[in-house]
Amino acid sequence: MVEAKSDPKVREKIDTIYKEVLSRNPGETEFHQAVREVLDCLGPVLTKNPEFLERKIIRRICEPERQIIFRVPWQDDKGEVQINRGFRVQFNSALGPYKGGLRFHPSVYLGIIKFLGFEQIFKNSLTGLPIGGAKGGSDFDPKGKSDDEVMRFCQSFMTELCGHIGSDTDVPAGDIGVGGREIGYMFGQYKRIMKRHESGVLTGKKLNWGGALVRTEATGYGAVFFIDEMLKARKDTIEGKTCLVSGSGNVAIYAIEKLHQLGAKVVACSDSNGVIYDKNGIDLDLVKQLKEVERRRIKEYANHHKHAKYTENGTIWDIPCQIAVPSATQNEISGENALKLVKNGCIAVSEGANMPTTPEGIHVFLESKIAYGPGKAANAGGVATSALEMQQNASRDSWTFEYTERRLAKIMANIHQLCYETAEEYGTPGNYVNGANIAGFIKVARAMVDHGLV
Ligand code: NDP
């Protein structure tokens, strides 16, 4: 990674703190990776602001304010008892109530929730909105479960979680495996137990009972607005570009939609089983029908379009493109994948997913000087629009699609500007990783100093 200058003594202190993070959080590799990336950017900031070290801001920021781990018992359709594990990590409330999604996926364990919660602190800070950082979820796998099973699980999950959240305390939302259906079941259970219709307790709600227009589209649209800004800064545009979007879930679908609206052609998307390539451009109506309505596998796309090619277990990143929007999961772009992308002519990467690029991959993107938008900045449109949903809930109002989309576009332009200017200020022009981590950190650190030792 390209680094701005910092005092070697400060560097040493940062290394000591990182070693402590490793020993205090054994086995949590994704969390270690997320912390390393942020700390690697902070040398110059801590050199310039020694009070952040004196007040132990880094040590405090790496330690969640609160971690809740709980049993989630539920019964499947056969009447058999199932046990899952639930998590909510309330990482940092310096800027506002805790805010961050819930992930339901079999791979979930504390290390994944902590990496996501840690990233969320800085991402939320970049939005300029008053929200702290948190994340939660469970190792429950909604795939292949009936609606009733998902409902029973969500009710059991919320039975414990309801005591820890609230519209001024902690406001969860969706993430992998958690969409409008799951948010609905959890909201129903919260309302039943707490005996109040508290709209602002969850975001990502359906439109007929407190949800906000554009929230569904926001992360994918926002990631594309971020590419638009990065390309504008290089006097280029999205129009006419060939793109890859990994995944075929919420973020991927709306990234594809916005890329198509802006005149690009997305030729491939994927799911955890394989990759679909359609040289004519992905038929998004079909993807929405298969994924949002029927909850099927992307493989079935090829049954509807005979010219499309499906590759089981294939990697999407070997397909030549100019723009890549990883929108599936963490560490999906290795160093090798990144090299291939750059060699094939990729000029811009915008991370719809959280931490989708490995440290080796980030190194390749930064060295090659392509426009690389890290997830913290590029996918912040989702949480920003969740904060707009909270504003509408608090004022019992609902805004139009056009107005909310304009707000989202403006927020993404502001985030881009902030990261761009911060990268320049710290001597690494064009390095949005430095820009995002430094700008996100400084705002939280100053608030923590203001709040005293808490
Ligand atoms: P969804 O559950 O809607 O979709 C996830 C997609 O990614 C699916 O196509 C899924 O395939 C694929 N995927 C998930 N896990 C893996 C895996 N281990 N290997 C390969 N493919 C995988 O989730 P979202 O679209 O909401 O989230 C996608 C990413 O975006 C995540 O990193 C999330 O943290 C991030 N994000 C989401 C936000 C939001 O508002 N939803 C906000 C900011 C970031 P399959 O169906 O086969 O599992």
Digit-coded pLDDT (tens) for 267-320: 999 999 999 999 999 999 999 999 999 999 999 999 999 999 999 999 999 999
Shortest-distance Cα residue to atom 33 of ligand 1: 353
How many of the other CB atoms lie within 10 Å of CB of 312? Answer: 8
CA of 251 to the centre of ligand 1 (A): 7
Residues 291 and 106: their CA atoms lie apart, in Å, by 19
The answer on pLDDT for 255 being more than 50 is: yes
Which CATH superfamily, name and number, covers 66-198?
Leucine Dehydrogenase, chain A, domain 1 (3.40.50.10860)
Residues 182 and 203: their CA atoms lie apart, in Å, by 11
Residues 340 and 278: their CA atoms lie apart, in Å, by 20
Average pLDDT of every residue of the chain: 97
135-188 pLDDT, tens digit per residue, is: 999 999 999 999 999 999 999 999 999 999 999 999 999 999 999 999 999 999
Tell which one of 108, 150, 250 to mutate to probe ligand 1, the residue whose CB is within 8 A of the most ligand atoms.
250
Domain 218-378 bears CATH identifier 3.40.47.10: no
CA of 175 to the centre of ligand 1 (A): 7
Ligand 1 neighbours, Cβ below 6 Å, are 174-177, 219, 247-252, 271-273, 327-329, 352-354, 379, 382
Determine what percent of the chain falls in helix, strand and coil, rounding each to the nearest 5: 50, 15, 35
Q: Which of 114, 248, 102 is nearest to 182 (CA)?
A: 102
Residues 52 and 122: their CA atoms lie apart, in Å, by 16
Shortest-distance Cα residue to atom 19 of ligand 1: 272
CA of 237 to the centre of ligand 1 (A): 27
What are residue 184's phi and psi, to 5 degrees?
A: -60, -50
Q: Which of 114, 108, 131, 94 is nearest to 34 (CA)?
A: 114
Host H or E run for residue 411: helix 401-425
Percent of the chain with pLDDT over 70: 99
Given the CA of residue 116, which atom of ligand 1 is nearest to it? Answer: 34
CA of 135 to the centre of ligand 1 (A): 15
CB distance 114 to 25 below 8 Å:
yes
Say whether 26 sits in a helix, a strand or coil. Answer: coil
| Mean local confidence (pLDDT), 20-43 | 98
Do the domains 66-198 and 218-378 sit in the same CATH topology, yes or no? yes
The answer on pLDDT for 1 being more than 60 is: no
Can you give the pLDDT at residue 5?
Answer: 72
> What's the token pair of residue 297?
């596998």
Quick one: pLDDT band at residue 4, thresholds 50, 70, 90?
A: low
DSSP secondary structure string for all residues of 21-63 = HHHHSTT-HHHHHHHHHHHHHHHHHHHH-HHHHHTTHHHHHTS
Tell which one of 118, 295, 329 to mutate to probe ligand 1, the residue whose CB is within 8 A of the most ligand atoms.
329
Contacts of 338 by beta carbon, 8 Å cutoff, 6+ apart: 317, 357, 360, 361, 362, 364, 365
Quick one: pLDDT band at residue 215, thresholds 50, 70, 90?
A: very high
Shortest-distance Cα residue to atom 27 of ligand 1: 176
Can you give the pLDDT at residue 2?
Answer: 43
Alpha helices in 69-214 (DSSP H): 110-126, 147-161, 180-194
CB distance 198 to 191 below 8 Å:
yes
Shortest-distance Cα residue to atom 10 of ligand 1: 271
Look at the chain and count its residues.
Answer: 454
60-92 pLDDT, tens digit per residue, is: 999 999 999 999 999 999 999 999 999 999 999
Contacts of 167 by beta carbon, 8 Å cutoff, 6+ apart: 97, 198, 199, 200, 201, 390, 393, 394
Can you give the pLDDT at residue 6?
Answer: 82
Given the CA of residue 178, which atom of ligand 1 is nearest to it? Answer: 2
Residues 278 and 53: their CA atoms lie apart, in Å, by 52
Shortest-distance Cα residue to atom 4 of ligand 1: 249
Given the CA of residue 107, which atom of ligand 1 is nearest to it? Answer: 18
Catalytic residues: 135
Host H or E run for residue 299: none
CA of 104 to the centre of ligand 1 (A): 10
377-401 pLDDT, tens digit per residue, is: 999 999 999 999 999 999 999 999 9
Can you give the pLDDT at residue 247?
Answer: 98
CB distance 134 to 91 below 8 Å:
yes
Given the CA of residue 356, which atom of ligand 1 is nearest to it? Answer: 32
CA of 311 to the centre of ligand 1 (A): 19
CA of 378 to the centre of ligand 1 (A): 15
Given the CA of residue 215, which atom of ligand 1 is nearest to it? Answer: 40
> What's the token pair of residue 452?
């005293």
Shortest-distance Cα residue to atom 46 of ligand 1: 271
Contacts of 60 by beta carbon, 8 Å cutoff, 6+ apart: 448
Q: Which of 110, 114, 102, 101 is nearest to 64 (CA)?
A: 114
Q: Where are the domains of the chain?
A: 8-62, 66-198, 218-378
